[in-house]
Structures are given as C-alpha cells and as structure tokens.
Amino acid sequence: MPYIKSTLSIFFALGALNMNAPQVQNLLGVQGPIVFEKTSFNISWSSHPSPNYYKHEYLAKGQKPDQYKEMFMIEFLADESASPKNLAMDKIARTNELKKTDPYAFAESLKEDKNGNDVIIDFILSDAKDKKVNIVEWNTYRYIKTTTKDGKKGILLLAISRRGYGKSIPTFLSSIKSGKNATVAVLAKYKIPEITLQ
C-alpha cells in the first residue's frame, strides 16, 4: 500500500509516514481515550523526533495505521516564537505546491481568533502517482498557542485525518463535502487538553 506524503508532520517538510515498529509512550501527559464526534480514540503511536517536538497518533479500535479511516493527532512544538498563523499558512502553501503532481491537493480555508493564537485549516491530499490514486486524505488542523503545565510555551496541534481508498474514494469525497463543516466546527470548539511533557 503506498503512503501519502505525510500530513502528520505539521512543522517540518513533508516526508513518509512512520513505518518503524510502533512506539507507544504518553509523551504529552494527555489523559485518554480521546473522544471526538462520538468516536473513542486510543493512543497508537508516539514520537519525540527532536528536542522540542512531540507527536501522538490515536486510532479507534480495529483501525490500522497504514489503512486507517480516521485518525486523531496531538502534537506540540516547544517554541515560544512560533506562530499558529504562520504554521497554518506554511501548511497551506505546501499543500498548494503539491497541486503540480496531485490533482486532489487543495487547502480550503483558514479561520482564526482575533489574536491569531488559535487557527484552523482543512485540506486534501492524495498518493497520486502516474495518474493512479489509491488513497485520498482529508484533514483539519487546529494550531493553538499554549503553555504546558510545566511552563513550556509553544504551539499545540489538534487534528483529525480521514481517508478514502480505491473504489470508495468518490463516496468518501461526497461524505467529506457534506460533513466537513460540522467536523471543523467541533474541532474549533474542542477542549484544549492540558499538556505535561514527559
């Protein structure tokens, strides 16, 4: 199964999804499970790829990381100077750049609070190669300027990722079109978890 260039890395260049042995450690001190739109998600993978960057992935029961239908993500960048709006704009720019090779690539919106400290976007990517598409992925990302319980200032990401595969892609895109505004609204109001770096 081909992999989409990663939508899971919010602060770095697009890369491949993690294919190493699963690592599950609660690096952010977030109490689970995560419940989003009535679905319960449990932590399935975590990573600390750099001294100031932490990543958690959450899957519903029975879902697999390489063929998931829905994934919740929490990430934290410990960088006091980072800006939610700048990170969001960078993600939009990277997505639009992919239009050269990905016919599905599209970043649709940027909504922010009046201070620019809470920004939400949604976008679509695919694994398009030689006019063949096996996976289409829709994501909505919420970037939040925050401070951890132990006093680290930075940017928290809350995100939901959904995928359609093969022959189900047209049905998937139709369901996203009809339901994405409601999902974005839920994410925008989702209670910000307390973070304690481990």
Instruction: State how far the Cα of 137 lies from the Cα of 186, in Å rounded to an integer.
Output: 19
Task: Answer yes or no: is 98 within a domain.
Answer: no
**The whole model's pTM is what?**
0.88
User: At 108, is the pLDDT very low, low, confident or very high (cuts 50, 70, 90)?
Assistant: confident
According to DSSP, residue 167 is labeled G
For residue 2, whether the previous peptide bond is cis, meaning omega lies within 30 degrees of 0, is no
Residue 174: HSE in the Cβ half-sphere, 13 Å Cα cutoff: 5
What six digits make up the tokens of 164? 């359609």
Per the structure, how many domains does the chain have?
Answer: 1
Task: Answer yes or no: is 49 within a domain.
Answer: yes
pLDDT in tens, 62-95: 999 889 999 999 999 999 999 999 999 999 999 9
Task: Answer yes or no: is 184 within a domain.
Answer: yes
Task: Answer yes or no: is 71 within a domain.
Answer: yes
Task: Answer yes or no: is 135 within a domain.
Answer: no
Domain range for 171? 34-82+142-189
Judged against a pLDDT cut of 80, whether residue 23 lies above it is answered with: no
Task: Answer yes or no: is 105 within a domain.
Answer: no
Task: Answer yes or no: is 155 within a domain.
Answer: yes
C-alpha dihedral over 99, 89, 184, 98, to 10 degrees?
A: 10
Query: Ramachandran region of residue 95, left (φ > 0), alpha (ψ -120 to 50) or beta?
Result: alpha
Task: Answer yes or no: is 148 within a domain.
Answer: yes
